[in-house]
Amino acid sequence: MTKDNQGLKSSFDLAMERMAKRGEGIASLTAEQKAALADISAKAKAKIAEVEIMYGKKLAEVRAGGDAEKIAAVEGEMRVEVARIKEREETERRKIR
């Protein structure tokens, strides 16, 4: 029995086959690339933690005041900052791949 006739395939298997047909298989990374990607991830996590700490203090102060609009504004600022860090991380990761 050939591999194609082994029965039902998972969605993942089907997607991998389609990618292989288009020449888009999973890329092999060198040890240096893996280390660089790990470094980028670690730095991004550290920056996000820093932002959470910084905005955590602001949120505590604003929540003590009880103004819902100010709370929402600070939470929004924090989400934007975290999203910016994650986008920068993904851009750097794409450059390495």
Domain ranges across the chain: 29-96
* Packing angle, helices 31-65 and 68-96, rounded to 10: 170
CA distance 93 to 91: 5
Q: Mean of the pLDDT values across residues 66-90?
A: 94
Asked if residue 48 lies in contact with residue 82, where contact means CB atoms within 8 angstroms, the answer is yes
Q: What are the C-alpha distances in Å from 10 to residues 16, 22, 42?
A: 10, 19, 33
pLDDT value at residue 2: 45
Q: How confident is the model at residue 26 (pLDDT cuts 50, 70, 90)?
A: low
pTM for this predicted structure: 0.67
